Each structure stands twice: as structure tokens, then as C-alpha cells.
Structure 1
């Protein structure tokens, strides 16, 4: 049976809370909140650095006895499997389920299902859980931390976006993996490009620094993702293409010679070439964004070491509704 509803568990620190919630809004809609999410939207959990688990819901019940009865309808006689209890921050709302109780319920459910019970190397994992008084049984999928292998790239520098933030920005910009045209006009060593490529998306890279472009190419080639490498030495002023999305990680005055005027010019040019601009800044840019003809439709902050970055999702006014 194909699942039509899904349950996701999220995990994040206080420093990344706003960024994680920004991704949740992009994936599931503005009204969805919390670390346990029930939705009819299917997201690959390995796309997100914050999603821990995904339950492909097969059936539900209002009490344990009904769930046990319904479990007999699922599974395959020739398939090996095991059943686990998916514990989350709300799973004890119907009472305190201690470790032994959770194990016993999982065993009871498993004994009702056809198939070959295999606790070590099952071909399929089922999970049961409770949310808001409803019991769920479904196929269990654990997120794979793909982004972790991008933490130590062959080429890098200290002020570059970390892999976690870059991956989240790609998810926010293109939450449903549409065929969007995307560009990072100040791509640096290609952190955003690498994360997009790992998810099968192409973000074109541009940078005025030849060494940055060379480093970005090295990083993409190192991971050998099957995405065309499109990186050019070019300043944003010379970019004539038109894109659905532009990523703009503004140079920081603490570490570069970029002036406020130059930063504002980057925003203006990003607005010229893209309908949506995802801006990363340590300084307030609201006035410059408005002057460039963009509206801020969502925002968040995230902390890294000694300073806080602000993430701003900006669109042209006619796309904001």
C-alpha cells in the first residue's frame, strides 16, 4: 500500500531553531509548527539536516487494541521485517510509555504481521507511534546525514557558509524539487552548489575571484555528483541571465573590504536577474532590499561562532501572493 500521509520528527538546537522552522514553513506550509509534523506532503528526509525520521503511514487507530488488529493486514509472508516504537517528544501524551512497554507493544504488533521476523537485518522496518491520541503504523525511514561528508571539503575558508546552513537554504529556495533555474552569483568555494548537486539540483556558480571559482570546481569534482559543472569567473554586474532563484551570501565587513554601497549594489543586481533572492547577511539590509524592488516574505537568524547571520527570503511583489 502506498502511503498518503507522513509523520516526520525534527531535531535542532536553539541556535538553529529559527532556520529549521523556516525550512518547515517552506516544506509544509506557514501554519505547520513543532518538531513532530503530520502532513500529506512527501519529503525525502535525507534532504534536511533537521529531519530525523519519516513514517510512511499505512493505517491508524484510536486505541492499541484496534492498532494490533489492523496490523494483520500489512506485511508480506516472504519478507523479513521488524517493528520499532518511534519515540518523539509527544509520544507519551496518552500515558508514560517506558522502554519495556514500548518494546512489548512493538513485539505484539510484529507478531500479528505476516513475514519473517528479523531484528538484525530486516528488509523492511515498520514503526508504531502515537500523536495527539491517535496510533499510527507505517514504513519507517531514517534520515541519512549526506551533508556530513561535505563538512571537510578539499577547498574551503572560514567565513563560508557551513554545509548545514547551505543545504537548508537550497531546501528553502526549492522545497519541492521543481525544475527551477538557480544561480549563486557570489558562489565562493561552492558550498551552496555542492549541497544542491547532492540533491540532484543545478545551481550555476559565478564569482569575480578566479581562486574561488577554481576551488568551487575542485569541490564539485571531488564529490563527483552527476550534475553539469557551470561555474564562471564573472561579476554580478555582467550577468545577463534570468533565473527563478538567486542565492546571495553578502560579503561581511568584518572580513572583507566590501562597502555598504557595494553590498546594496549586489542586492540590486540580484533582484535584476532573479524573481526570488535568498539573502544571507550579518547587517540589516531591509531598506536596501526594499529599494531594490523586493519584498521580504520570510526570515530567520542562525548563529555561527562569534556572529549571527540573518536569512531573508525575498521576492518581487507580484510573486508574493
Structure 2
């Protein structure tokens, strides 16, 4: 339950959403309320959302779910259409109450982005890149972001597809070409420059930095610190993705660590560190 209007397409961890129109302590309370729906001749469908907090003995089986859908549908004035409805409604039980409203299902856009023309063995996974963009810019309105180590554009693609105003930069001209090609493949466009973060003079609300790491990069600790110092210079917030332990370096660069989480794939672990 949230007062924040987040479309499920934004997150790889959200599958569906109900925009709550009515709630009640029992299904009859819902039946009475849905009678007020005005469809003006449009068709509809009701979906029982399986996610709930019912204990095992109280779980609602498949047949009963269909009964609940039909009962609600009988109280809505309009024509039901299970195949191509104009409106899709959802019903869910949570915390001992029932909630009914517009049902929105994620299109899982990020899954399409896994199939890029150019790939890079050490690039972030699409899911992690999308999560990092969400963490960095939870509300895109009026925010400007930069990815100064953009590689083949994995973060750029996820951010752009969510409406985030972001630019990219990398010191490697080969991967820059890959980033431009990958973005174009999905019909996306952003300013992407081959160059060092030291050359950036503009200010940004947030920097998303997938730190070059020692297993695959010749980046020295001095170069890592320089990257963080320049990120602090150009952005008031940073989301740093690193395989190394950089807490002391991050603090020495002038950032305060606000939050962190860990993303693990097999034996390989990355930290996602939120700094301000």
C-alpha cells in the first residue's frame, strides 16, 4: 500500500498494481460500491489478484477466485469481456480488508532491453541497472542525471525508458559507440560523450556510477578517488555501484553514505551505495 503513484513498468520487481477506487471489510461492501461505476457502454473484466496476506488455511482457491470475479462483475452495470475489455479492474484482500480498483499490469519493458546489439561481459545486468536508476531518481520531474562511466549504455537505456533526463560519458571510445548503437536500437537518444569526468562543468542532481573494478580494470585507487571527487563536484547525490569496499574513499571524497544494499550473482557481489 502506497500513496505514491508508481507505474509497475518502472521496476523489475513490480508485476501489477491496483489503483484503489473502493475498499471494504467484506465483499458485499465492494459489491454495493461497484454499482456506482459508470462505463458508458464500455466493456470490462475483473481480475482476482493472487498476492495477499492470507494464511494457508484461509487461502482462496482457483474456483473461488473465479466466483468472486463473477460476483463483482454482476454488480457492475456493463458488458463483461474477458478477452479484450476496455477496462480491467482488480480485486485483492489485504490486512483483513478488500480493495477494488483499476488494474495495471507491468509490460516488463526491461526484459526487452536484455537483447542489445552490443554486449559487454562486465556490464551491469539490465535488472540491476533499472533498479539503480530507480534508486537514483525516484521522481524524474525536473531532475538531471549523469552516468560518467556509462559503458555500453545499460543504465542509460533503463533511465531513458523511464523518462529520466540523463547524459552519458566514458573514456573508452569503443564502448561509447556501443552505447549509441544500443540506445538507437530501442529508439532512445541521449547526449553521450567520450571523455573524462574531470572535463564536466555542468551540475547534475545525481550521478550514477558503476565503478570500474579491479578484476577487469586497470583503474588505480587514485583514479577511483579522482572519479569520486569529481562526482562530488558535479552532483549533489550519487548512487555508486562497486565490487570493491570504498567506504573510506567515498567519505574522503566528501560524500555521506545514506543507504546501501547488496546485489549478488553467484560468488560475485556488488554494493549499491546511496550518497549525498
TM-score by length of structure 2 reads: 0.96
- Does the aligned pair in 1 maintain the 2:140–2:165 contact within 8 Å? no
- Taking the TM superposition and a 5 Å limit, the aligned residue runs for 1:270-289 are 270-289=231-250
Give the match's secondary structure for 2:237: strand
1:166 to 129, 138, 150: 129
Contact preservation (8 Å) 1:46, 1:146: yes
- 1:111-152 deviation digits (Å, cap 9, x = unpaired): 010111111111111111111011111111101110111112
- TM-score, length-normalised on structure 1? 0.83
Q: Does 1:200 align with 2:163?
A: yes
Describe the superposition over 1:182-212 as per-residue Cα deviations: whole angstroms up to 9, x where unpaired.
Answer: 1111111111111111122231111111111
Q: 2:20 maps to what in 1? A: 57
- Structure 1: runs of 5+ lacking an equivalent: 1-37, 316-321
The number of residue pairs the alignment matches comes to 276
**Matches of 2:207 and 2:215, distance apart in 1:** 24
SS for the counterpart of 2:71 is helix
Match of residue 145 from structure 1: 108
Equivalence for 1:42: 5
Alignment of 1:218-257 (within 5 A): 218-225=181-188, 227=189, 229-257=190-218
Could you list the per-position Cα deviations for residues 197-232 of structure 1 after superposition, in whole angstroms to 9, with x for gaps in the alignment?
11222311111111111111111111112x4x3111
Counterparts of 1:91 and 1:60 in 2: how far apart (Å)?
17
- Measured after TM superposition, the shift of residue 75 of structure 1 is 4.3
Written as runs of structure 1 = structure 2, the 5 A alignment for 1:260-275 is 260-275=221-236
Paired with 2:39 and 2:72, the residues of 1 have a C-alpha distance of 14
Matches within 5 A, 1:38-187: 38-91=1-54, 95-187=58-150
Contact in 2 for aligned 1:93/1:131 (Cα 8 Å):
no
Q: Provide the aligned C-alpha RMSD in A.
A: 1.5
Residue 189 in 1 paired to residue 152 in 2?
yes
Matched, 1:297 2:258: yes
**Residues of 2 paired with 1:127 and 1:185: CA distance?**
42
- Aligned structure 1 segments of 4 or more residues deviating by more than 6 angstroms: none
- Structure 1 residue 239: Cα displacement: 1.7
* Structure 1 CA distance for aligned equivalents of residues 79 and 219 of structure 2: 64
Deviation at 1:176, TM superposition (A): 1.5
Summarize the Cα distance change of 1:75–1:306 in structure 2 as closer, same or farther, 3 Å threshold.
Answer: farther
Structure 1, residues 281-309: CA drift from partner, whole Å, max 9, x if none? 01111101111111111110001243100
Match in the other structure for 2:173? 210
Following TM superposition, by how much is the alpha carbon of 1:89 offset from its aligned partner in structure 2, in angstroms?
A: 4.0
- Asked if the contact 2:137–2:164 (Cα under 8 Å) also holds between the matched residues in 1, the reply is no
